[in-house]
A = this chain, B = another copy of it.
């Protein structure tokens, strides 16, 4: 039972400077606390609520920025893929491929991701039961790639609301694959602002505490120095300045969960 790994970063890749600044802050915080971490950021937001919303810097520019973050801070990097054809080129740059929740049953995408040989972090669909993630993992494992992470990020609960069912963590862990808890998307309110998703940022630390106490291999948190002005997921991202104190507390829960 190793200490939890942190997967963190800004939702979108905004620019090289911005990526480097957030990475520098995370490097300092995690270095000080002895937390292994993976930098996460997206080069394309492919399923925004509205077509008018910012999509991101695109694949070529985004991968270049991730490569520079990786080289400078010697941290693994993670990004998400949306079509099967993206998997191979993305895998040349990033350490972990991520499958978005809405796409977690797209067989071709899962298999293409598996074939890269890279670890694959699959978000559980908001429409999926935790036990059904075994079928999702089996699609990836059919390629011979067993480096699979299963990630809880909330389940549909009425309209425009998600609920975090913490039974899902031990249920997904029965597969034998490491389980990740995504604390910031779990407090999203999909479509809750009309033409954008809302969020309840104040509950992300609450759910993160619960997840660490139940026991997870990794924690996923999107963070930004100014969430209220971020181009996406602002309502649920954690301010960068709050990360250090939050992580200290979460480490304490993690230690209790993994002791004895």
A contact set with B: CB distance below 8 Å: 46-51, 55, 82-84, 102-103, 105-108, 110-111, 125-132, 135, 138-139, 142, 155-161, 163-167, 169-170, 187, 190-191, 195, 200, 203, 206-207, 209-214, 249, 252-253, 256-257, 259-260
Query: In the complex the two chains form, what is the Cα distance from A102 to B100 in whole Å?
Result: 11
Q: How far is the CB of A131 from chain B (nearest CB, A)?
A: 8
- Choose among A156, A212, A213 the residue with the greatest number of B CB atoms under 10 Å from its CB: A213
Per assembly, the copies of the chain total: 4
**Inter-subunit contact B190/A132 (CB<8 Å):** yes
Given contacts A55-B107, A103-B106, A167-B187, 8 further A-B contacts (CB under 8 A): A82-B106, A102-B106, A129-B160, A129-B191, A167-B203, A169-B206, A170-B206, A210-B210
A191 touches B128 (CB 8 A): yes
The interface residues of chain B lying within 8 Å CB-to-CB of A160 are 129, 132
Answer whether A213 and B209 are a contact pair too, CB < 8 Å, given A105-B49, A128-B190, A156-B155: yes
